[in-house]
Amino acid sequence: MFVMAHEVSLNGQSLGDVDDRILVAGISSDAGKETVGTASPFGRPGQRITGVHRDSLDITVAFMIRVKKNNLELRSELFEMVSTWAATAARGAWLTCGHRPDRRAWVTLQQLPAEGDPWNWTNTYNIVFRAYEVPYWQDSRITSATRSVTTSVEIPLSVGGNAESVAEITYDNTGGGTCDTFDVDTGRAEIHLTGLGCAAGERLVIDHNEGGRIRIRIRSSGGVYRSALACRTPASDDDLWIAPGVNTVSITAGRAGTVTAGSYGRWL
């Protein structure tokens, strides 16, 4: 599917703002590449599906350079400016486009445009980006809900999108002592923490970096973070998977405090 898009940005920098003679012709994305797990049913022919894993998503940005066909030097200069803009994603960047500013994709640069015949001033050029670590479109803003907790609490959380996502949790210790245990259950996954040493006035944060990898950290009252990944028990899941739709997130804390559960909805 090809969709006209008047704007496409990497980390908030619009391609159209590089120069007003660079025109975004459109943006297209494939259906995503997936791996299907199968297993042989005991004593029966055929295969049964054990799971579907999304591996990558390709996004193509098409653009044109509108200058006089005999001004080859300027065309080449503008082309290099586009390539410099695209290289912003060499190590990863958030891509957003004009027709869906409420969604974003974490992409890396897969293919720079080929310049082609410089005399053909009507050329349309393509840049290909690939989403590997977070191979989805996801909401640009988190949806969250906050509750007070004495020992345990259930938080209703509405998750957008049409694909499985992950939950993010913050807990502020207001209980007057040290919180050493913390448990989260999203209904699809659980994480159990022990030996936290989260003192009064400190914050426990379970979130994800830009590439989608889970982080478990404690922020001191002075704003300094320390890792608490080692506090996760062997019985814990790898991440806090959560289904799209209305969910109940169950939280148990070793001390009273305030907890927030949230999620960025993901879209296929």
Return the domain boundaries, the chain: 2-38+47-139, 143-267
Q: What is the b/e burial string over 161-177, where b = at least 16 CB atoms within 10 angstroms of the residue's CB? A: bebebbbbbbbbbebee
Model confidence, pTM: 0.85
Q: Say whether pLDDT at 198 is over 80.
A: yes
Q: How many CB atoms sit inside 10 A of residue 123's CB?
A: 17
Q: How many CB atoms sit inside 10 A of residue 146's CB?
A: 12
Q: Say whether pLDDT at 104 is over 80.
A: yes
Write the CATH number of the domain with boundaries 2-38+47-139.
Answer: 2.40.30.200
Question: For 67-87, how does the pLDDT look when each residue is reduced to its tens digit (9 = 90+)?
Answer: 877 788 888 899 999 999 999
Q: What is the pLDDT of residue 2?
A: 43
Q: What average pLDDT does range 120-128 have in this prediction?
A: 86
Q: What is the pLDDT of residue 117?
A: 73
Q: What is the pLDDT of residue 111?
A: 94
CA 215/CA 229 separation, integer angstroms: 7
- Give CA angle at 226 (133, 237), nearest 5°: 50
Question: For 21-70, how does the pLDDT look when each residue is reduced to its tens digit (9 = 90+)?
Answer: 999 988 998 888 888 777 777 777 777 777 777 889 999 999 998 887 77
Q: What is the pLDDT of residue 5?
A: 46
Beta bridge partners of 266: 138, 163
Q: Say whether pLDDT at 119 is over 90.
A: no
Q: What average pLDDT does range 240-268 have in this prediction?
A: 96
Q: Say whether pLDDT at 173 is over 50.
A: yes
Pair 204, 196: CB distance under 8 Å: yes
CA 97/CA 70 separation, integer angstroms: 31
Length of the chain: 268
CA 53/CA 33 separation, integer angstroms: 9
Query: What architecture is the 143-267 domain classified under in CATH?
Result: Sandwich (2.60)
Q: Say whether pLDDT at 163 is over 50.
A: yes
Q: How confident is the model at residue 122 (pLDDT cuts 50, 70, 90)?
A: confident
Dihedral, CA of residue 166, residue 90, residue 93 and residue 216, to nearest 10? 40
Q: How confident is the model at residue 4 (pLDDT cuts 50, 70, 90)?
A: very low
Q: What is the pLDDT of residue 197?
A: 96
Q: Mean pLDDT over all residues of the chain?
A: 91
Per-residue tokens: 119: 């005399």
DSSP state of 41: P
Q: Which residues contact 106 (CB under 8 A, 6 or more apart)?
A: 92, 93, 94, 95, 131, 133, 134, 210, 211, 212
End-to-end CA distance of the chain: 14
